[in-house]
Amino acid sequence: MANFSRNYMGIFIHIGRYVLWMGRVFRRPEKWSIYRQRIFEEVQNIGYDSIGLVAIVSTFMGAVLTIQLAYNITSPLIPVYTVGLGVRDSLILEFSPTIISIILAGKVGSSIAGEIGTMRVTDQIDALDIMGVNSTNFLVGPKMIAAIICNPFIVIISIALGIFGGYMAGMLTGEVSGSDFIYGIQYWFQPFYIAYALMKTVVFAAIITTVPAYFGYHASGGALEVGRASTVSVVYSIVIVLTFNLILTQMLLQ
């Protein structure tokens, strides 16, 4: 019982510290020109460098979705183009914004926690603070902004490549003809779904950058603790992304 309450209190302490710490992220930067330059660097690290992984995952995800849907639709009453429709909506509503954000939480999140954690244990963050630089704003702000800018584009790329993967899989396996698939992806298209996917992505982008940064920033000790902070940060990021996925889905698709 004591352990149970201690763990729960620990979560509340983290939430309180995170909120206060985020207040420092939103302060005015010391120098805008350097801040802007750092955003461009992070666009490269967080956005551009993730495109390869996202492309591979999305193409295969779309292909597998097509084969599974085609395999499960056995009734002659359900038209074949439903496969295209199902692949499109699954990718837009869930797979691309949520699964890609979870994958990025692993790739980008662990890298952020490791980078900032190492800076913490090697006194580089103290060095920034002593110089008079708001280290939280300087280190975390550009990463968060870069992710908020890049991730919607990444998700759009993911949706496009997922549909392409599905189209190719349908064609190559002979389960769905090209014309049926294209008809399916155009059928009863809801533009709001794209807006919904992008809104979720922006929230997830903030989570998968700031949560690992928080754990890295508060790391102490040595390499072992930085590694542990990195692992814990990815776990927390994924759980928080899934929680917000539920909340946003309920709010936006009412």
Partner 1 sequence: MLDVGLGSALLNPISYLLTPSPMIEVKGLNKSFGEHHVLKNIDAQFHKGQVNIIIGQSGSGKTVLTKCMVGLFEVDSGTIEYDGRDFASMSFNEKKSIRQDIGMLFQGGALFDSMTVEDNIMFPLSMFTGQNLKARRERAQFCLERVNLSDAGKLFPSELSGGMKKRVAIARAISMRPKYLFCDEPNSGLDPKTGLVIDQLIQEITEEYEITTIVITHDMNSVIEIGENIQFIYEGEKWWEGSKEEILTTENQEVVDFVYASKFMKKVRADLAK
**Which residues are near partner 1 by CB under 8 A?**
30-31, 34, 118, 122-124, 126-127, 129-133
Q: Whole-angstrom Cα distance, residue 233 to residue 228?
A: 8
Shortest distance (Å) from residue 113 CB to partner 1: 16
Q: Count the residues in the chain.
A: 254
Shortest distance (Å) from residue 105 CB to partner 1: 23
What amino acid is encoded at 115 in this protein?
E
Cβ atoms within 10 A of the Cβ of 222, count?
12
Q: Are 204 and 98 in contact (CB under 8 A)?
A: yes
C-beta closer to partner 1: residue 138 or 167: 138
Q: At what angle do helices 82-90 and 135-173 cross, to 10 degrees?
A: 170
C-beta closer to partner 1: residue 133 or 157: 133
C-beta closer to partner 1: residue 76 or 132: 132
Shortest distance (Å) from residue 38 CB to partner 1: 10
Shortest distance (Å) from residue 226 CB to partner 1: 13
Give the residue among 183, 176, 179, 184 at the shortest CA–CA distance from 67. 176
C-beta closer to partner 1: residue 82 or 124: 124
